[in-house]
Amino acid sequence: MVIPNDAYGGTYRLFSKVAERWGLDWTAAPLDDLDAVRAAFRPGHTRMIWAETPTNPLLNIADITALGALAHEYDALLAVDNTFASPYLQQPLALGADVVIHSTTKYLGGHSDVVGGALVVSDAGFGDELTFHQNAMGAVNGPFDAWLTLRGIKTLGVRMDRHCDNAERIVGYLSEHKKVASVLYPGLDTHPGHETAAKQMSRFGGMVSFRAAGGAEQAIEICNRAKLFVLAESLGGVESLIEHPGQMTHLSAAGSALEVPADLVRLSVGIETVDDLLADLEQALG
């Protein structure tokens, strides 16, 4: 298995602490570098590329079409974690992926009131196999959780449009701020993955990360001072959240090759009135 060298911390934990014990080998590679992915590939042994695009929390972009072609060249599968984009902004199956993973806890549910996940495939036989395993292992949504998720999906499009509108305004604001060293957002034309993102996404989403010019201490201070942006993990709900990945969502990657920068702040931009969000960032940045 080849996984992103900046995979979501929980994904890394699953592979390194659980799946590894079952004999699953993995190698981390920068998935935006096809030569590096090819070098990480062990023909005859590697069965899957697990991609995440955009990645959590560094917002790196992988080229789904190119990774699909590479995986299929070696008779392997391409799985894409599409949690950050949601199906409204990006459809990996249409771009050559074999499996799409969603944390439905996030944009699909949309209201931070349900925990769930989904695998989406286009091959019916493969779908039956996954359903067999799901039934055998018990990873089944309760009826109320399923209902909440279905209700959330009805407003996915309008929510995503608003998440994107608000994120774009916030990116513009942060890009000009002297206490911000850099803004990570695939919609910026300075982002290294911008061209690929523009090819495979209809817009660039509601997740924004930035690096504090004052380092780790300032990053934590900003997280603590924010009020409307609630200090919390998770993402993709209607309310805005702020967090320090190094000490929160990605703590399990500390000390590994997947450790995230300590000066990083991650925002899940919600659907509130954008002027209120900008005012909160203004007071939090100080």
Ligand X SMILES: Cc1ncc(COP(=O)(O)O)c(C=O)c1O
Q: Which positions touch ligand X (CB under 6 A)?
A: 8, 10-11, 52, 56, 81, 83-84, 103, 105, 115, 117
Q: Which is nearer to ligand X, 84 or 204 (CB)?
A: 84
Q: Which is nearer to ligand X, 85 or 164 (CB)?
A: 85
DSSP 278: H
How far apart CA 190 and CA 183 sit, in angstroms, is 10
Q: Which is nearer to ligand X, 11 or 196 (CB)?
A: 11
DSSP 265: E
Look up residue 55 and give its amino acid.
Answer: T
Q: Which is nearer to ligand X, 267 or 274 (CB)?
A: 267
How far apart CA 214 and CA 220 sit, in angstroms, is 10
Mapping DSSP to helix (H, G, I), strand (E, B) and coil, where does residue 153 land? helix
In angstroms, give the least distance from the CB of 23 to ligand X: 23
In angstroms, give the least distance from the CB of 86 to ligand X: 11
DSSP 204: -
How far the first Cα of the chain sits from its last, in Å, is: 44
Provide the token pair at 22.
């079952």
In angstroms, give the least distance from the CB of 207 to ligand X: 9
In angstroms, give the least distance from the CB of 283 to ligand X: 27
In angstroms, give the least distance from the CB of 88 to ligand X: 16
CA-nearest of 35, 115, 23, 91 to 67 is 35
Provide the token pair at 165.
């509108």
In angstroms, give the least distance from the CB of 210 to ligand X: 17
Q: Which is nearer to ligand X, 5 or 218 (CB)?
A: 5
Provide the token pair at 39.
């070098």
Q: Which is nearer to ligand X, 218 or 266 (CB)?
A: 266
CA-nearest of 102, 99, 107, 92 to 129 is 99
How far apart CA 269 and CA 168 sit, in angstroms, is 10
Q: Measured in whole angstroms, how far is the alpha carbon of residue 158 from the centre of its chain?
A: 20
In angstroms, give the least distance from the CB of 201 to ligand X: 15
Q: Which residues of 129-165 are buried (b: 16+ CB within 10 A; e: fewer)?
A: ebeeeeeeeeeebeeebeebbeebbeebeebbbbbbe
In the bound state, the residue with its beta carbon closest to ligand X is 103
In angstroms, give the least distance from the CB of 148 to ligand X: 13
Q: Which is nearer to ligand X, 117 or 214 (CB)?
A: 117
Q: Which is nearer to ligand X, 9 or 68 (CB)?
A: 9
Q: H-helix or E-strand containing 69?
A: helix 64-73
- Those residues whose C-beta lies under 8 Å from the C-beta of residue 240, and which sit 6 or more positions away, are 228, 229, 230, 267, 268, 269, 270, 272, 277, 280
